[in-house]
């Protein structure tokens, strides 16, 4: 299609349109709505104002207080936990010591009866054994040669206190001292028990050289759980062997009496420790 150009006066030339500038082209080449919505971002000012000493001090103080309060809160939590553990340990230990006191009383009574019978056996050492009645008493009392009744502490809680670090939760020094003494006293009883066991074993061995235990299966000597009155035989009529037997019985009696004294001297401490723990920790 041909463009119509209007007539111009003579001598005048039509003005030429200036070519669009590159800048205009670039601007117009983009969508006008995008240009309209574009935002201008400014670079941040990196030159901060210097803080005053007071601001630094306040920040330090706040951090210090936060750390300190956290430390005290953790310490308080640990102390409360340790206090609860201490109370639980003491209740368990109290129960163990009560049990130990009863067991010790029974063991003392058992060994007192043993000691009395060994006394009777030693008196027979001065009698002749040709008499059937004396021979029968000899067989009756010899059953106490070799009788055992030993004390065993219920040390479950004590082992926990020692092995699992439980002693550290005991804050009261006088309580810790009493528990340490209790452990020591039990060890002394065990030391006396070693002599008791050694002497009892020796007495048992000596009975095997003197007495004929087959008579309990012979109704002419023993029937219906009683002796018949017939003269009971001995394996060895050698007076020297018999003297050695009574020496072992005397050794056993001495070890038994020593064992009894050890328990008797420590039983009051166990009972007082029970009352002490009940009072210190308000236990039942």
> Each residue of 103-149: pLDDT tens digit?
999 999 999 999 999 999 999 998 888 889 999 999 999 989 989 99
Question: Is residue 100 a part of any domain in this protein?
Answer: yes
Flag whether 258 is in a domain.
yes
Confidence (pTM):
0.70
Q: Residue 88 half-sphere exposure, CB side, CA atoms within 13 Å?
A: 10
Flag whether 28 is in a domain: no
Q: Are 268 and 259 in contact (CB under 8 A)?
A: no
d(CA 266, CA 144): 25
Q: Do 149 and 110 touch, CB atoms closer than 8 A?
A: yes
The domain in which residue 200 lies consists of: 74-281
Span 136-194, pLDDT tens digits: 999 999 989 989 999 999 998 999 888 877 777 888 889 999 999 999 999 999 999 99
Return the exposure string of 14-34: e unless at least 16 CB atoms fall within 10 Å of the residue's CB, then b. eeeeeeeeeeeeeeeeeeeee
Per-residue tokens: 134: 């004396």
Share the mean pLDDT of the chain.
Answer: 82
Residue 60 located in a structural domain: no
The answer to whether residue 83 is domain-embedded is yes
Say if 78 falls within a structural domain. yes
Distances in whole angstroms, Cα of residue 228 to Cα of each of 132, 170, 223, 237, 256: 10, 64, 7, 21, 32
d(Cα 151, Cα 47) in Å, to the nearest integer?
Answer: 85
Position 32 in a domain: no
Structure tokens belonging to residue 50: 């210097």
Q: Model confidence over 193-228: pLDDT tens digits?
A: 999 999 999 999 999 999 999 999 999 999 999 999
Is 181 a domain residue? yes
Three-state DSSP state, 275? helix
Give the count of domains, the chain. Answer: 1
Structural tokens at position 213: 């235990």
């Amino acid at each position: 299609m041909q463009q119509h150009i209007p007539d111009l006066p003579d001598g005048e030339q039509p003005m030429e349109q200036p070519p669009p500038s590159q800048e205009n082209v670039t601007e117009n080449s983009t969508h006008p709505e995008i240009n309209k919505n574009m935002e201008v971002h400014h670079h941040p000012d990196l030159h901060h104002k210097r803080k005053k000493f007071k601001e630094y001090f306040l920040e330090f103080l706040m951090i210090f207080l936060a750390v300190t309060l956290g430390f005290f809160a953790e310490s308080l939590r640990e102390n409360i936990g340790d206090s609860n553990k201490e109370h639980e340990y003491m209740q368990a230990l109290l129960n163990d010591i009560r049990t130990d006191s009863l067991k010790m009383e029974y063991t003392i009574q058992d060994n007192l009866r043993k000691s009395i019978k060994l006394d009777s056996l030693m008196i027979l050492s001065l009698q002749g054994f040709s008499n059937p009645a004396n021979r029968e008493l000899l067989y009756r009392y010899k059953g106490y040669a070799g009788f055992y009744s030993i004390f065993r502490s219920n040390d479950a809680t004590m082992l926990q206190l020692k092995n699992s670090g439980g002693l550290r939760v005991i804050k009261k020094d006088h309580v810790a001292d009493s528990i340490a003494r209790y452990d020591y006293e039990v060890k002394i009883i065990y030391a006396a028990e070693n002599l008791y066991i050694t002497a009892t074993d020796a007495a048992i061995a000596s009975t095997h050289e003197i007495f004929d235990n087959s008579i309990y299966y012979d109704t002419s000597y023993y029937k219906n759980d009683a002796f018949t009155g017939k003269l009971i035989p001995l394996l060895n009529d050698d007076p020297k062997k018999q003297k050695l037997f009574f020496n072992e019985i005397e050794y056993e009696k001495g070890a038994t009496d020593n064992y009894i004294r050890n328990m008797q001297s420590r039983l009051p401490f166990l009972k007082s420790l029970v009352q002490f723990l009940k009072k210190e920790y308000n236990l039942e």
